[in-house]
Chain A
Amino acid sequence: MHIPDGFLDAKTWVAASLISAATVSYAAKKTREVLSDRQIPRLAVMAAFIFAAQMVNFPVAGGTSGHLIGAALAAITFGPWSAVLIMSTVLIIQCLFFQDGGLTALGANILLMGITAPFIAHWVYHLFVSPGAGRSRMFAGTFAAAWCSTFVASMVCALLLAVSGTVIATVGFPAMAFWHAIIGIGEGVITALVLAYLTQVRGELVFENAKV
């Protein structure tokens, strides 16, 4: 879902950049309050894993592909504010070194995949899963959180494209919704599998600080 340069008009990418810059700096403040030295390498390895996993596009119906965003994985593991920093780091590297996502669209891409997606995932997860919930409920909640994070991010993307005059809302919203409803299934399955693995090898690695 990385928006390239040229899809967004100036007012839209400037506005998205300002919102993202303010949110990321607030996320840095919130993360600083709770971050322990033990967690620093965990954040780093999560960012590295999400970068690598985003390279693996999986085919979906009709000659289209999708890849993991990873925002739900980061948000459920570390909480939404740390997830904002993890996703922003990944998106900045992808933009500056790999031309994945435009430089003018970096703020917009952070808004979609680095802010909207982790917060949606966080809210949906905690709607389904209360503390002390069983494993099956945790994984159902993980799937729902990950699916919603992809879907809602794609809706924000459609909104930015509509505001920019790139594609009208009546076309952009249903088209983005259709493909990302399918891609979201992949996001849900991969996120649930990775979290199942992480909770099995090391329960305290996950959920230790996820309230923040």
Chain B
Amino acid sequence: MITCGIDIGSVTAKGVIMDENNLLATTIQFTGYNAGTAGETVLQKLLGQAGLKREQIVALIATGYGRNSVDFADKTLSEIICHGAGAHFAIPTARTVIDIGGQDSKVILLSDAGQVLNFVMNDKCAAGTGRFLEVMARALETDLDGFGQLSLKGSTPAAISSTCTVFAESEVISLVAKGESRENIIAGIHRSIAARTVAMANRVGLIPDIVMTGGVSRNIGVIQALEKLLNLPVTVPENAQLTGAIGAALLAQRAPNVA
């Protein structure tokens, strides 16, 4: 059965077309200001890539913050259940999913069968999210791709104590003024994100295996900081950024009557 999952996040819009367990097409683009248009573009790109017609898609599920703007979706689901399903598909032993996206971070606890048992989200604050990293990257004149690599060169992570993005940015600026190395500052930023995430994970009751999904999983610095604090390995599946969209496409297969 051919299904589609579209995940409209605050920063990027992701989509996949799947036939059972096979990925036929994938795409990632910026969401921009119009989530509805982003959803439409994602679908067109996917159809072109897979060489399929809209009618051939049996069911389409939208997820993510912009899910309700995808008016052509057969159904919408929260990104929590989709990330759970996607992570379980990629790593069947996954019991804890750490998802750090553009504007929020969450920790999801799964059953053996991949059902969501519990979840916790960051409070109304951007600290510990992808947006936080973006702001920090700008303050340190680097890009997100360089961020992970640079932090690995840091020998002593600088102390970043603020839990607020705005205050943390000024904290970073004063560290720069004090002559702290960029590598150590970035390592410190990753450590502070990891510490916030671990606190959330402990709240929900962490069970291995731990899997990380979402855009921030591309940042090796955050992964390593998390592993260090948790003292456990953190696995990043292939296509980690697409996990929510994959989960949506899989859940669409389970509920074909949605169409």
Say whether A associates with B. no
Give me the interface of B with A, judged by CB distance under 8 Å: none
Residues of A within 8 A of B (CB): none
